[in-house]
Amino acid sequence: MDRRYSGLTTVGFSVLACNSALAVCKSWGDAGAVAFVLVADAALVLLFVCLREFERRRGRAGSGRVKAAVWALTALLTAMFASRVAPLMPPPVDALVWGMAVATAAGGLWALFFN
C-alpha cells in the first residue's frame, strides 16, 4: 500500500499543525476550546485518510463503510463548527446557521448514498 503524500499535502498538514498549536496555546485555560481544536484536527486527519481510502476502493467491497465514515466525519465537523458559530449570532441567524448545517449534512447523505 502506497502511503506517500504529495508535497502540498505535507505543507497543508504542517500549516494545520502550526495553526492548531497556536490555537491551543491561546486558549490554554479553556478546556472546551482546547478539546474543540483537538477533536476537529483529529476529525480532519481521519477524513483525509478516509477520502484516500474511498478513492482507492471505489466500486469495490467495503466502499460503503468508507462512504459512511466520510459522511459521519463531515457531518460531525459541520455540527461542531455550527455549534461554535450559532451562539454568536442573533436568534434568526442562529436558526439559519443550524438550518444550513442540517441541509449540508442531508445533502452530503443524498450525494453519497442516493445519487
pLDDT digits (tens, 9 = 90+) for 2-61: 567 788 888 999 999 999 999 999 998 999 999 999 999 999 999 999 988 888 877 777
Alpha carbon distances (Å) from 37 to 1, 43, 71: 30, 10, 20
66-95 pLDDT tens trace: 899 999 999 999 999 999 999 999 999 999
Residues 48, 73: contact at Cβ < 8 Å? no
3-class DSSP state for residue 1? Answer: coil
pTM of the model: 0.83
71 phi/psi in degrees, rounded to 5: -65, -45
* Burial class, 73, CB count within 10 angstroms (exposed 0-12 / middle 13-18 / buried 19+): buried
